[in-house]
Amino acid sequence: MRKKVLWALGLVALALGLASCAPHATQDTLKAQGPYAQQIKSLFVPVFWIAAAVFVLVEGGIVFIALKWRHRKGVNRTPPQTHGNTRLEIAWTIAPALILAVVMVPTIATIWSLAKPPPANALNITVQGHQWWWGFSYTDADMKTGYGTNAPISTADVMVIPAGRTVYLSLASEGGALNGGVAGPNPDFQVIHSFWIPELAGKQDVVPGRTNHILIQADTPGTYYGQCAEFCGLQHGKMKVRVVALSPIDWTAWVANQKLPSDTPTDPLATQGMDTFLNPLSGGRGSCIACHSIGGTTAAGTAGPNLTHFAAYTHSCFAGCDWNTSDTAALQAWLRDPNAVKLGSKMPNYHLSPDEINALVAYLKSLN
């Protein structure tokens, strides 16, 4: 029995020692970076310590009893034949009930606090889960683009928000305005996802046919990482998302930029890429614009991510945020055969030639 205690202590020491070597986790639920995540953390941490105290008491009690009353060879002891003690049993029924009752008070308060309606100045964003990437649509009246049909600003994979301001997310799965404001059922949205940025808020499911809401806020500018938390099929593990929080100045500039249509490239390679993108591919291989839209051009597809500002400095990742936009090789590999890098991707292999790929990459990199 003493061995068990030593084992346990040794393991704890080992774990703590090695834990200090572990690198920083980017989705740490206990590293709250905004008021909503902080409310949850402030609730969980004290409960954790209460649970830890109960853990030490109960496990300590078990070890103590096991050691103290263990049978020793050669000692014949007759234990008292106690059948129970009603008073004692009532006491240890009431004690945990009281502890739980105490804990439930702040719990219920926090449930309702997190469910409060958003403040008047909150930014509204509609979030849509696709297999397997996230789309965002900025639905406020002052967030409409200045071209075409004045659709809301929309992005994919990266959600840009103003730091220090509450964002009210509508997690819609059907009929929400996205990619040029086209509404209506889209089979691509028809599985459940869960939107989760651990450092900013708890998770909330995105359920087809329903609209859920959640409040998030980042206190300081920076990048926050998250991913889909509800199993949604083959590439569930690679359905990541980044939230970029900007300072007020940067935010204003970002919004102004997003309202503009895409740049028309001047570089010849990029121009060639634009041609490839906007026109049907030779040999009946299909066309990019069937699924993608690029503001200010004829590209107005809605099934895939909006690429209008693909190369904006905030748009750091693509295709479920598993690859960095700056990584030319990754972009090329993606265009060569999306399913080779991400099996199950809805984007088919268009059998693009190396020249076409280089031109398309150049075009995409010009879209900032």
Partner 1 sequence: MEGPMASVIEEGGRGLIRRPSATTGFWSWFTTVDHKKIGLMYGGSSFIFFLIGGLEALIIRSQLAGPDQHLVTAAQYDQIFTMHGLTMVFLFVMPMSAAFFNYLIPLMIGARDVAFPRLNAFSFWAFILGGLFLYSSWFLGGAPNGGWFGYPPNSTTDPSIGMTFYTLGLLITGIASSVGAVNLAVTIINMRAKGMTLFRMPIFIWMGLVVQFLLAFSLPIITVALVEMLFDRRFGTHFFDPTAGGDPILWQHLFWLFGHPEVYILVLPAFGIFSEILPVFSRKPLFGYQFVAFSGIAIGFIGFGVWAHHMFAAGLGPVANTAFGVSTAIIAVPTGVKIFNWMATMAQGDLHFDSPMLFAVGGIAMFVIGGLSGVTHSIVPADYQQTDTYYIVAHFHYVLFGGAVFGLFAGMYYWWPKVFGKMLSERLGKVHFWLFVVGMNLTFGPMHILGLQGMIRRTYTYPATLGLTFYNQVASVGSFTIAIAMLVFIVNVLKTARHPKGLENEDPWDARTIEWMTSCPPPVHNFDEVPEVHSLDEFWHRKYTTDERTGELIRIPAGAAPEHDPGHEAAAGHAIHLPSPSFWPLVAATGLPLLGYGILYSWYLVGAAAFIILVGFIGWALEPSVAE
Give the binding range for partner 1 (CB under 8 A) out of 12-20, 260-268, 272-280, 330-338. Answer: 12-20
Minimum distance of partner 1 from residue 220's CB (angstroms): 19
Minimum distance of partner 1 from residue 322's CB (angstroms): 7
Minimum distance of partner 1 from residue 285's CB (angstroms): 24
Q: In what side-by-side order are the strands of the sheet with 153-156?
A: 153-156, 133-138, 123-130, 167-172, 211-216
**Interface pick for partner 1 out of 9, 13, 51, 256 (rule CB under 8 A):** 51
**Which contacts (CB < 8 Å, 24+ apart) does range 7-12 have?**
none
CA distance 352 to 356: 6
State which residue, 97 or 253, has the beta carbon closest to partner 1.
97
Of 298-337, binders to partner 1 (CB under 8 A) are 322
CA distance 357 to 201: 39
Backbone torsions φ then ψ of 360, nearest 5 degrees: -65, -40
Residue 132, preceding bond cis, omega within 30 degrees? yes
**Interface pick for partner 1 out of 2, 17, 74, 77 (rule CB under 8 A):** 77
Give the binding range for partner 1 (CB under 8 A) out of 157-165, 220-228, 253-261, 352-360. Answer: 220-228
Quickly tell me which residue has 């102004």 as its tokens.
256
CA distance 196 to 193: 10
Strand, coil or helix: 162 = strand
Give the binding range for partner 1 (CB under 8 A) out of 149-157, 233-241, 248-256, 285-293. Answer: 233-241
Taking Cα atoms as reference points, which of 25, 42, 316, 51 lies closest to residue 198? Answer: 25
State which residue, 28 or 355, has the beta carbon closest to partner 1.
28
Task: Answer yes or no whether residue 49 interacts with partner 1 by CB under 8 A.
Answer: no
CA distance 165 to 34: 10
Minimum distance of partner 1 from residue 102's CB (angstroms): 10
113, burial (CB in 10 Å: exposed 0-12, middle 13-18, buried 19+): middle
Of 338-367, binders to partner 1 (CB under 8 A) are 343-344
Angle at which helix 354-366 crosses helix 328-336, to 10 degrees, equals 130
Task: Answer yes or no whether residue 218 interacts with partner 1 by CB under 8 A.
Answer: no
Backbone torsions φ then ψ of 112, nearest 5 degrees: -75, -35
CA distance 195 to 228: 5
Give the binding range for partner 1 (CB under 8 A) out of 110-118, 155-163, 215-223, 288-296. Answer: 110-118
Taking Cα atoms as reference points, which of 193, 45, 68, 57 lies closest to residue 127? Answer: 193
Task: Answer yes or no whether residue 205 interacts with partner 1 by CB under 8 A.
Answer: yes
Task: Answer yes or no whether residue 204 interacts with partner 1 by CB under 8 A.
Answer: yes
Minimum distance of partner 1 from residue 126's CB (angstroms): 15
Task: Answer yes or no whether residue 87 interacts with partner 1 by CB under 8 A.
Answer: no
**Interface pick for partner 1 out of 6, 9, 89, 339 (rule CB under 8 A):** 89
Of 281-300, binders to partner 1 (CB under 8 A) are none
Residue 25 CA from chain centroid, whole number: 14
State which residue, 211 or 368, has the beta carbon closest to partner 1.
211
The tally of CA atoms less than 13 A away on the side-chain side of residue 304 is 21
**Interface pick for partner 1 out of 122, 148, 170, 174 (rule CB under 8 A):** 174
**Interface pick for partner 1 out of 6, 9, 13, 234 (rule CB under 8 A):** 234
Task: Answer yes or no whether residue 115 interacts with partner 1 by CB under 8 A.
Answer: yes
Task: Answer yes or no whether residue 108 interacts with partner 1 by CB under 8 A.
Answer: yes
State which residue, 65 or 256, has the beta carbon closest to partner 1.
65
Minimum distance of partner 1 from residue 174's CB (angstroms): 6
